[in-house]
Structure 1
């Protein structure tokens, strides 16, 4: 592998959790400094399943002002002004079907609307999510909402389950894909997170939109990721880099792989070796 693989990337899109961030949800100083150097020669774009509020701290740590892909591609925000540039909301009937499905099966359900996180009761799952994202959720009853259009919804199973298997989420994903087809994008961002957004959203569609807005062609876009919710973005990019800590199902659909994991500054190491001039 050498720098000829992608001579001059115009955009480098980067997932956060499991990719840029270490397992303790922090950015290393090496990663920050490497991305600041990279930003001098191309546009560095964060692409995350997190809300804008949940990722803004990391964007600001690096010093980026480029558009940001958040909510798994359901929203693109201006990193300089914080204004929404593009947004695709989950239709009300799908939100209702999802929370009723989760409620009947005792699965934790939560949703984002207007940048705020909501759930019907505090659980081990809600506390885990709040702690890992530094967000504070609000208690509500979704039955009382007049407008159920949300930016993103999630079903979450406790990550402390000893088996490490979460068949309920695979079953739910199959059910909702069959019920709503192209109106819904539904993906596992972690083995225990099932995310729901508008069918027009995905990190791939959002990256296409960002490239169009920036007038950067597909072949000059590189992307890094570790999860199955990154696949559309990785497959759209002219060069796709899977993290060494990614599952095999992600690695086999990418053109390249980092030598080091997210806990070992894998992204920074790859960029230093193959992108920086």
Structure 2
């Protein structure tokens, strides 16, 4: 199964639409199954209009996922990540009790983003022995000694408010839904590596053995990547055609146009 996994934190841009198309093409080349999985853990940034935009863009592209929500109401009632919170809590409990004796370790970290600048912990958290049950601590994975450390040092699996992080939830969701292939942006290579670490710690089969992850190039604007958080325009405002979007996706996947 292939998946489309947008985050409803802004209106989708051309890069998002091309990623949707790439995953639809991957599904067509494999078993034909395509899951729509909307990542809505960051509740503070979710807006009803952004959720609706996901369905509007899929409709405009002519993509019909074989599994997942059909509209905003169906998503809210049955498919929100809030409904899978028990899975995430169980995974966190597994991480708490089953860390590799000679591998990456879980530790508690009260550092703020400012105190964690450049990956250096203000409180020496990886070795400080701070209790995981302490209030207002994030749970992080000690990535020292891993190639990942340079790009994503000591990433979080649980946030200070007790909610699962993106890396934890994405790993659990991909395993839960038996995802076998997906296309992701080049900027998510470090996330893929982090999720491989989480997968190993959870005792899942090796991520690289159960998932074929294709990292595609990013679309650039004024020298930087398109981003919802930077106010990138919605797809319907860009004046591009569905055919042009699929042409971008085919080029990413090295398919004939």
User: Shorter-chain TM-score: which interval?
Assistant: 0.3 to 0.5
**Going by fraction, where is helix more abundant, 1 or 2?**
2
Using structure 2 for the length normalisation, give the TM-score: 0.41
**Going by fraction, where is strand more abundant, 1 or 2?**
1
Bigger relative contact order, structure 1 or 2 (CA pairs below 8 A, ≥6 apart) = 2
**Higher CA-based Rg:** 2
Using structure 1 for the length normalisation, give the TM-score: 0.39
